[in-house]
Amino acid sequence: VQAIPRKVKKGQKKPDPVRVLQQHEAFIERIRSLPEPAASDPGIVAVLALLENFSCRELMRLSVWKELRGNPNLSFRLAGKSELICQHPVVKDSIERLAEKVADSKDKGICLITGEERGISRLHPAIKGVWGAQSSGANIVSVNNKISGKNNAGPTPAFASYRKQQGFNSPIGERPVFAYTTALNHLLRKGSPQRPQVGDSSTVFWAEKRADMETSVVDIFGEPRKDDPDRQTRKVTALFKSIHHGRYVGGDADTRFFILGLAPNAARISVRFWQVTTVGELAGHIVRHFEDIRIVHRGKQPEYLPLFRLLASTAVQGKEKNIPPNLAGDTLRAILEGCSYPRTLLTASVQRCRAEREITYPRAALIKGCLNRATRYSNPDQKEELTVSLDPDNTNPGYRLGRLFAVLEKIQEEANKIQEEANPGINATIRDRYYGSASSTPVAVFPTLIKLSKHH
């Protein structure tokens, strides 16, 4: 129902009453054309009776008239019923069959989604909600419209290459196009409980049937909520318990689970990653991730570090905008697939430690996790891995030299505390001067460090 405002704003086109009446009549005719059994549905009969005896003046007397003028989109339901008339099974079935009939009247092709011959959609609706993309929406499937060359008939648009018309370079049926764009817009909507934002990747999760994991994943990887800061810890703790008991809570272990990562790419949307797994397998990969990055920490620090906090620790000044490109998506994919962390994650963590001269809890956890996963997947037969805390039984020469280096630096720090009282400003240690050379040529450096420690 389109309402005609009494006053028209400056620059606004004045509605044509004749056209409004034509639209009203066309809407009635469209409903009358519904085939059986939809035409006999009590809801359809009631809507037709209302529209055929419709009075704008009666509508204007309603208390919601002001709201209708600003957003004149109406639907109907029968009194005492919660279901909309357009949601009645017979009505939905009739509308879908009519839509298929309209689609089939267009140019046909083999749909890439269904594998069936269908009427191909020339343009796809925009997808909104992807962070960094155009606010008006962008497309996953689109073809450039610029002129790419000339032939005997004149300039040829890019989408008409290989003698294919627009839309036929990536043919998808009308109904599948409507289905996938509507579903994505719903999952990406503002406040969606199935969509965390990690770096530049907008990720959505869903299962083939309703499962707690659809929303639990967002609580696990997202930043702790201000109104419930312990929510993430509770979710991860419950996940650990369910895995250690040999099952996933709720009996959803075999339910198929889908993960889609999207990122902006100029005027389009690129698929960063796509994964099909099960709830049980995904739960195992998430638990494995938190076990890999577990490390001793202070009592007030969180037991389970959110992914955002881990990635921010590798960025300059700890800001989200400074997280290295593609790092967030690659790291999230490694966690969800249970594979090695990206090599760039280890590099970024070490570089921030060197630049800021501080080994923080998140960076130490990342370095431990990266080294353990690299060892596990490059040499599956090697069972020895870095532990959560100091391992006095580790006989690896590099590990023991690292312990010795820490002891030597501690001796120097204690000596500097005394010396600073007489000569303030001394803050450089052997870590700043000798760490690189001690790592590459220990046989040449450690005798010098041990000699210096005697003076300290």
Token readout for 192 is 């969606």
* The pLDDT value given to residue 146: 57
Give, in degrees to the nearest 5, the angle at Cα 286 between 285 and 289.
Answer: 90
What pLDDT, in 10s, does the model give residues 258-296? 999 898 876 788 888 898 998 888 888 888 898 898 898
* The pLDDT value given to residue 9: 54
Question: CB under 8 Å to 224, separation ≥6 — which residues?
Answer: 230, 231, 232, 302, 306
The mean pLDDT of 377-386, rounded to a whole number, is: 73
What pLDDT, in 10s, does the model give residues 409-444? 989 888 887 776 666 655 677 888 888 888 889 999
* The pLDDT value given to residue 6: 45
* The pLDDT value given to residue 388: 86
C-alpha–C-alpha distance, residues 56 and 59, integer Å:
5
Whole-structure pTM value: 0.70
Give the residue with greater pLDDT, 161 vs 450. 450
pLDDT cut 70: percent of the chain above it = 79
What pLDDT, in 10s, does the model give residues 65-107? 777 776 667 788 888 888 898 888 888 888 777 776 665 556 7
* The pLDDT value given to residue 407: 93
* The pLDDT value given to residue 57: 74
324: pLDDT strictly greater than 50:
yes
Token readout for 334 is 């490694």
C-alpha–C-alpha distance, residues 423 and 435, integer Å:
25
Q: In the structure, what pLDDT confidence band is assigned to residue 232 with cuts at 50, 70 and 90?
A: low
What single-letter amino acid sits at 371? Answer: L
4: pLDDT strictly greater than 50:
no
C-alpha–C-alpha distance, residues 174 and 73, integer Å:
24
207: pLDDT strictly greater than 50:
yes
The mean pLDDT of 335-363, rounded to a whole number, is: 88
Q: In the structure, what pLDDT confidence band is assigned to residue 51 with cuts at 50, 70 and 90?
A: confident
306: pLDDT strictly greater than 60:
yes
C-alpha–C-alpha distance, residues 333 and 46, integer Å:
52
The mean pLDDT of 317-323, rounded to a whole number, is: 80
* The pLDDT value given to residue 430: 84
DSSP codes, 238-304:
HHHHHHHTTS-TTS-TTSEEEEEEEEEETTEEEEEEEEEEEHHHHHHHHHHHHHHT-----TTS-SS
Instruction: Enumerate the H helices of 318-441 as residue ranges.
Output: 327-337, 343-356, 361-378, 397-422, 430-440
The mean pLDDT of 174-203, rounded to a whole number, is: 86
Q: In the structure, what pLDDT confidence band is assigned to residue 157 with cuts at 50, 70 and 90?
A: low
Give the residue with greater pLDDT, 424 vs 116. 116
Q: Which of 111-115, 139-143, 247-251 has the lowest mean pLDDT?
A: 247-251
CA dist list (Å): 331 to 32, 342, 432? 55, 6, 30
DSSP codes, 160-190:
GGGGPPTTSSS--BHHHHHHHHHHHHHHTST
Continuous segment of H or E residues that includes residue 452: helix 442-455
Q: Which residue has the tokens 């650990």?
A: 240
* The pLDDT value given to residue 186: 92
C-alpha–C-alpha distance, residues 230 and 224, integer Å:
7
* The pLDDT value given to residue 363: 92
* The pLDDT value given to residue 140: 86
Q: Which of 9-18, 210-219, 303-312 has the lowest mean pLDDT?
A: 9-18
The mean pLDDT of 353-361, rounded to a whole number, is: 85
pLDDT cut 90: percent of the chain above it = 11
Give the residue with greater pLDDT, 355 vs 407. 407
Mean per-residue pLDDT over the chain, rounded = 80
* The pLDDT value given to residue 2: 39
Hey, which residues does 275 pair with through a beta bridge? 259
Q: In the structure, what pLDDT confidence band is assigned to residue 5 with cuts at 50, 70 and 90?
A: very low
Hey, which residues does 268 pair with through a beta bridge? 139, 265
Nearest C-alpha neighbor of 127 from the set 182, 173, 201:
182
Specify the pairing of strand 147-151 against strand 117-119: unpaired
